[in-house]
Amino acid sequence: GLREKISLFLSDHPNSILPSSLWAGLNTFITSENIGDATSATHKVCDTQGERMESELSMIRYIIWAIPSIGFIGTVRGIGEALSQAHIAVEGDIAGMTASLGVAFNSTFVALVISILLMFFLHQLQLVQDRLVLNTKDYCDKNLLSLLNT
């Protein structure tokens, strides 16, 4: 019947937040006949899925964190190369030194711009994920739990 169809769908889509939440709420209500327990079950599934989505972003967060560090390595390298040409600059030829300093400052600039852009997109992705969890809780409360309450 319906339970088997829902169970089959969930086995094919284990990370689908809405069907999993509805199923948890419905199963809990069937066993306990308590709306509060069903609400807790739907919210627990939503929270668990939200935490899963959050943890999946950890590597992206690390990469975004590392980008300014990589830029800083380029900055140190460029300044080091510029300093190694200081004796040439003292003689009047500052072209090599200024080119190395350009590399140093460009490394910092590029890394910071990339980091800012990626952080923006990461925050947008987190916003979408948070809205998904909240909208799923709201949907469960308005549609499933209100039907069970009647």
> What pLDDT digit, counting tens, does each position of 93-117 carry?
888 888 888 888 999 999 999 999 9
* Listed range (25-29, 50-54, 58-62, 121-125) with the worst mean pLDDT: 25-29
- How far lies 30's CA from each of 4, 21, 37, 148, in Å? 15, 14, 10, 10
pLDDT at 8 over 70: no
